[in-house]
Amino acid sequence: MSLVHEIDYGTPRIDSATTVTLTIDGRAVTVPEGTSVMRAAMEMGTEIPKLCSTDMLDSFGSCRLCLVEIEGRNGTPSSCTTPVAEGMAVKTQTDRLKRLRRGVMELYISDHPLDCLTCAANGDCELQTQAGAVGLRDVRYGYDNKHPAPPKDESNPYFTYDPEKCIVCSRCVRACEEVQGTFALTIAGRGFGSVVSAGMAEEFLASECVSCGACVQACPTATLTEKSIIDIGQPEHSVVTTCAYCGVGCAFKAEMRGDEVVRMVPYKDGKANRGHSCVKGRFAWGYTNHGDRILNPMIRERISDPWREVSWDEAIGRVASEFKRIQGAYGRGAIGGITSSRCTNEETFLVQKLVRAGFGNNNVDTCARVCHSPTGYGLKTTFGTSAGTQDFDSVEHTDVVVVIGANPTDGHPVFASRMKKRLRDGAKLIVVDPRRIDLVRMPHVEADYHLALKPGTNVAVLDAMAHVIVTEGLFDEAFVRERCDWDEFQEWAAFVADPRNSPEEVETVCGVPAETIRGAARLYATGGNAAIYYGLGVTEHSQGSTTVMAVANLAMATGNIGRPGVGVNPLRGQNNVQGACDMGSFPHELPGYRHISEDATRTIFESLWGAPLDREPGLRIPNMLDAAVEGSFRGLYIQGEDILQSDPNTHHVAAGLAAMECVVVQDLFLNETANYAHVFLPGSTFLEKDGTFTNAERRIQPVRKVMESRSGMEDWQITMAIANAMGFPMTYDHPSEIMDEVAALTPSFAGVSFDKLDRLGSIQWPCDEAAPEGTPVMHIDGFVRGKGRFVITEYIPTDERTGPRFPLLLTTGRILSQYNVGAQTRRTANAAWHQEDRLEIHPHDAEQRGIVEGDWVKLASRTGETTLRATLTERVAPGVVYTTFHHPDTQANVVTTEFSDWATNCPEYKVTAVQVAPSNGPSDWQREYEAQARASRRIAPVAEPAE
Amino acid sequence: MSTSNLVYMANQIGKFFVSEDRDTAVDGIAEHLRLFWDPRMRSEIVAHLRAGGEGLDPPVRAAVARLS
């Protein structure tokens, strides 16, 4: 193995159908029109010296090192800023150029410390490399006249800023602007006093820097350097793999020294992230080696007992014997399993196979139950397939971006950067969200319309937009007639055209001015390519599935489906939500979204698996918990999920878990759910196993092992061991064999294999004979279900209502630096940005309650109460409060209710009626929970062997 | 299973079809219960209907009756 070196072409690739032929150093080269001379030279293998240019950024022309001579032109233009021209003759190496470059380099080095041997960038410093490239042998100005630089800034937990080593190339500033779109950096001062400045000359940590690391990656010297490089040294090999955080699915090079990760570097060839990353993916991988990792299997008789470390054989044996005993005593349907969107496709496939064929029932569910299950239902009903329609590249062709119930700059930051770039280039923006999310107004981005609706009124607002589109004749009749069921369209059109769905009527329900709704609808329908991106603010409602169908209705009515730049794009929360759903994790569906009652499909699986399958749907997670309390469900295998912290109404989840006789938790840490577990099976991180993740754009990407599993078993091996111990044989030697089985059973995966993934890098399903390299954009010639189906989406208000006791509406979400239940990110230095869950409350609501910034407040609902500290902000409207759910000592889900989506039981996290009042500190419940959790995590000392 | 919870869930499904004609609504509700509810949940809601079906909305009662 060696380091994966990616060629830096100096300037970005140009997409142009017109080509230009020129000669460089006497050799002809043909490139797209608009390409820089520098890039054209690199395309033919000639690397022109450079410092301020890199192909992730637009050319800048400041370093004066990339000078060339062009026949017939005066002077020595910079090759990075000079576009090619037909017949141009370029020389990259002449005596004059050599003299000029050495002179330029002399000036750089004259003001640069010469501590190369002890510098962290030694071996990976472009200044050092270019000094060698231009043949620098002496500096006529001497070495002792360095200009004083500001002190080193070590405030960021992950990288340092050392101004002394800065050559003021502005790559960091431009990366922050062009790649990340945050505009946190600038060059302050003049001449030798020029320095990179974060914010208003603040420390990096205190500035608006989001720690994405694009500046560190762009820096050609040791000015911005990962602390891990300073601590460990330069890596010696790298492995390309896929991030295990959000649904963007960034490709990374895991740069290694031995089996130690030195740093994660975003992979330029990664088609989801195109060389960018966020603070989680690039930096927050330290949990892998955190001291809280459990590395040995453990069992206990009762949940009040301390854990006892045992061998894998004993632990697996306990699982199998307990599950068999429970089935013998209570029936085949008394046990089940939960797959995880954090685990690989292969692992989730095996868990559902174990449940269906090994347990003999369909009691398998996944955490998508609590996030995007309505997406599955809604898009399958309308389009015929349970997935987003586009790839991320599509946004580059979008004229109108609609963001509904999503906060991409926090939840999907790398895609948000691409979206912001398109918005800066002129696309229009409509935001539908109760909160004033960052996209509403941030540097160089401002929403044309912000529909700050009352939580729970999505359907009313979308129906009102449809009303405008239909009654003002803005729908695409040709598209609808050709691609959709015309009769169903007419019924739908009559429904939305009814006066009760007019913006003027809906305004009284949702609080959005009618003219704002009308303006947004007109822009969406007539502004060119319009694409809808949505998140859990759409799905996590009692009308979540209805909202998804309302979104699909809008896209079909306006013809915004089936080409680049348009579409319906669910932004998936976790890395493998799409994949976990694809792999048949829902109780009613086999892999590939085929209902379990379809005899022909079931027969195929039965034949290959050698076991009969139940034709009836199984229990969903909330149904499992209900059944446990009632007594008919007694055993649960949970792979990589923490339902106690993530699922609604914590008290009810705890009651369900406590009622079970055998709870098996497979995870990296003793999570909150493990407080109620009888068997703990230590899992492996994404760095410790092979497999695939499927991101929000249906892109299947390889996860590659860079170190051995610290627990000794990869997660797919654990599931296999349970299956074998229960008498259902599984004999895979490698996850690639599992994917081969998926491909054999699932038409949309028929052409997928690990070999092909190695060759192509990634594949977007459907991948079959018709599309052997995958499908970037779906429904181009027709919908998967045939004709697109318009569904009538009547607005039904949620039963969760505000009143005198609970006058405020709580909505929950996540923050950039933390990830879901925080099991991973809380165990990294990301805690520097978010050490606790806070309650956002509008200053008016706070003042009425006598609450000031930072106060402890009690947050109470009909379900329960917790305490946390308040942050006063106008991001939330009066009457609305907001918090995150990253910290178990807050347990926001103690407050959320069990109201859920009518079709899928996806919880209504986004609407909870609450009251907020000053408090003295943590509640009694929080203290009791903390004590119980501490007691539950006791591990008995291993007995010394007898002499 | 909590019967009241099942009744609530079934009625919630019924409300989705509130704008449809009665036959379409009953078909849709029954189909949804068949496709997505575990048999023990269906058995309990059927038993509840047989015991009088308190709380079930009219089209939901008709749909549940089809399950039995």
CA distance A255 to A719: 30
For residue B51, the distance in angstroms to the closest alpha carbon of chain A comes to 19
Burial code of A182-203, b = ≥16 C-beta within 10 A, e = fewer? bebbbeeeeeeeebbbbeeeee
For residue B14, the distance in angstroms to the closest alpha carbon of chain A comes to 9
Q: How many beta carbons lie within 10 A of that of residue A132, not counting itself?
A: 11
Residues A546, B13: C-beta atoms closer than 8 Å: no
The residue of chain B nearest to residue A595, with distances taken between CA atoms, is: B35
Q: Does B55 touch chain A if contact means CB atoms closer than 8 Å?
A: no
On whether the CB atoms of residues A433 and A403 are closer than 8 A, the answer is: yes
Q: Does B24 touch chain A if contact means CB atoms closer than 8 Å?
A: no
Residues B5, A627: C-beta atoms closer than 8 Å: no
CA distance A266 to A276: 5
The H or E element containing residue A257 is: strand A251-257
Give Cβ neighbours of residue A934 (< 8 Å, ≥ 6 apart).
none
Residues B15, A902: C-beta atoms closer than 8 Å: yes
Question: Considering the domain A808-935 in this protein, what is its CATH number?
Answer: 2.40.40.20
Residues B1, A627: C-beta atoms closer than 8 Å: yes
Residues in chain A closer than 8 A to B16 (CB atoms): 546, 794, 796, 902-903
Residues in chain A closer than 8 A to B40 (CB atoms): 333, 619, 627, 632
Q: How far is CA A861 from CA A336, A505, A858, A914, A916, in A?
A: 31, 30, 10, 4, 9
CA distance A660 to A408: 38
Classified as helix, coil or strand, A188 is strand
For residue B3, the distance in angstroms to the closest alpha carbon of chain A comes to 10
For A100, half-sphere exposure in the C-beta direction (CA atoms, 13 angstrom radius) is 19
Report the alpha-carbon angle A124-A126-A131, nearest 5. Answer: 120
Amino acid at A701: Q
CA distance A796 to A901: 11
Residues A792, B12: C-beta atoms closer than 8 Å: no
Question: Is the alpha carbon torsion for B40, B46, B52, B53 positive or negative?
Answer: positive
Of A495, A617, A792, the CB nearest to B35: A617
On whether the CB atoms of residues A738 and A803 are closer than 8 A, the answer is: no
Of B15, B20, B41, the CB nearest to A792: B20
**Could you tell me the two tokens for A387?**
């997935």
The residue of chain B nearest to residue A588, with distances taken between CA atoms, is: B36
DSSP string, A423-460: HHTT-EEEEE-SS--GGGEETTEE-SEEE-PPTT-HHH
Residues in chain A closer than 8 A to B5 (CB atoms): 626
Residues in chain B closer than 8 A to A632 (CB atoms): 1, 40
Q: Does B19 touch chain A if contact means CB atoms closer than 8 Å?
A: yes
Q: How far apart are the first and last CA of chain A?
A: 47
Of A495, A595, A623, the CB nearest to B19: A495
Residues B9, A542: C-beta atoms closer than 8 Å: no
Mutate to test the interface with A, among B15, B36, B67 (most CBs of A within 10 A): B36
Of A617, A626, A632, the CB nearest to B36: A617
Classified as helix, coil or strand, A55 is coil
Q: Can you give the pLDDT at residue A113? A: 93
Nearest to A111 by CA among A135, A138, A143, A137: A143
For residue A793, the distance in angstroms to the closest alpha carbon of chain B comes to 8
Q: Does B52 touch chain A if contact means CB atoms closer than 8 Å?
A: no
pLDDT in tens, A430-483: 999 999 999 999 999 999 999 999 999 999 999 999 999 999 999 999 999 999
| Domain A321-371+590-749, CATH among 1.20.120.400, 3.40.1000.10, 3.40.50.740, 3.90.550.10 | 3.40.50.740
Residue A856, Cα to own-chain centre: how many angstroms? 31
Nearest to A451 by CA among A540, A547, A519: A519
Domain residues of chain B, as ranges?
Answer: 3-67
| Domain A378-570, CATH among 3.40.228.10, 3.10.20.340, 3.40.50.300, 1.10.1200.120 | 3.40.228.10
**Could you tell me the two tokens for A379?**
């898009």
Residues B38, A794: C-beta atoms closer than 8 Å: no
Longest dimension (CA), chain B: 31
Residues B38, A902: C-beta atoms closer than 8 Å: no
CATH 2.40.40.20 domain locations along chain A? 808-935
The residue of chain B nearest to residue A594, with distances taken between CA atoms, is: B35
By a Cβ cutoff of 8 Å, what residues of chain A touch chain B?
333, 363, 495, 542, 546, 587-588, 595, 597, 616-620, 623, 626-627, 629-630, 632, 792, 794, 796, 902-905
CA distance A902 to A374: 9
Q: How many beta carbons lie within 10 A of that of residue A305, not counting itself?
A: 14
A45's torsion region: left (phi>0), alpha (psi -120 to 50) or beta?
Answer: left
**Could you tell me the two tokens for A740?**
């081969």
Of B12, B38, B40, the CB nearest to A902: B12
**Could you tell me the two tokens for A727?**
């008498």
For residue A700, the distance in angstroms to the closest alpha carbon of chain B comes to 28
CA distance A518 to A883: 31
Residues B38, A619: C-beta atoms closer than 8 Å: yes
Q: Can you give the pLDDT at residue A944? A: 64
**Could you tell me the two tokens for A432?**
């539908």
CA distance A384 to A787: 9
For residue A935, the distance in angstroms to the closest alpha carbon of chain B comes to 31
Amino acid at A496: V
Q: How many beta carbons lie within 10 A of that of residue A238, not counting itself?
A: 22
CA distance A251 to A825: 19
Nearest to B45 by CA among B56, B35, B58, B31: B56
A854's torsion region: left (phi>0), alpha (psi -120 to 50) or beta?
Answer: left
- Give bridge partners of residue A811 from the DSSP assignment: A882
Q: Can you give the pLDDT at residue A943? A: 67
Cis peptide upstream of residue A772 (ω within 30 degrees of 0) = no
Q: Can you give the pLDDT at residue A945? A: 62
B39-50 and B22-36 are packed helices; what angle lies between their axes, rounded to 10 degrees?
130
Domain A19-93, what architecture? Roll (3.10)
The pLDDT profile of chain B, 68 residues, written as one tens digit per residue, is 789 999 999 999 999 999 999 999 999 999 999 999 999 999 999 999 999 999 999 999 999 999 97
Q: How many CB pairs under 8 A join A and B?
A: 56
Q: Can you give the pLDDT at residue A947? A: 55
Q: Which H, E and C letters describe A377-421, residue by residue? A: HHHHHHCCCCCCCCCHHHHHHCCEEEEECCCHHHHCHHHHHHHHH
Residue A251, Cα to own-chain centre: how many angstroms? 12
Q: How many beta carbons lie within 10 A of that of residue A874, not counting itself?
A: 12
Longest dimension (CA), chain A: 92
Give Cβ neighbours of residue A818 (< 8 Å, ≥ 6 apart).
A825, A826, A830, A833, A834, A884, A886
pLDDT in tens, A382-400: 999 999 999 999 999 999 9
Q: Can you give the pLDDT at residue A2? A: 87
Mutate to test the interface with B, among A586, A590, A792 (most CBs of B within 10 A): A792
On whether the CB atoms of residues A476 and A486 are closer than 8 A, the answer is: no
Residues in chain B closer than 8 A to A588 (CB atoms): 35-36
On whether the CB atoms of residues A493 and A546 are closer than 8 A, the answer is: no
Classified as helix, coil or strand, A715 is helix
Question: Is the alpha carbon torsion for A881, A884, A885, A888 positive or negative?
Answer: negative
Residues of chain A with pLDDT under 70: 943-947
The residue of chain B nearest to residue A363, with distances taken between CA atoms, is: B38
Residues B38, A632: C-beta atoms closer than 8 Å: no
**Could you tell me the two tokens for A449?**
């319309």
**Could you tell me the two tokens for A142?**
């001497």
Of B5, B19, B40, the CB nearest to A794: B19
CA distance A920 to A73: 76
For residue A777, the distance in angstroms to the closest alpha carbon of chain B comes to 29
CA distance A348 to A877: 40
CATH 3.40.228.10 domain locations along chain A? 378-570
Q: How far is CA A20 from CA A7, A24, A25, in A?
A: 22, 13, 16
H runs (alpha helix) in B1-68? 3-16, 22-36, 39-50, 58-67
Residues A903, B32: C-beta atoms closer than 8 Å: yes
Mutate to test the interface with B, among A616, A789, A798 (most CBs of B within 10 A): A616
Of B16, B35, B41, the CB nearest to A588: B35
Q: Does B39 touch chain A if contact means CB atoms closer than 8 Å?
A: yes
Residues A363, B37: C-beta atoms closer than 8 Å: no
For residue B36, the distance in angstroms to the closest alpha carbon of chain A comes to 6
CATH 3.10.20.740 domain locations along chain A? 19-93
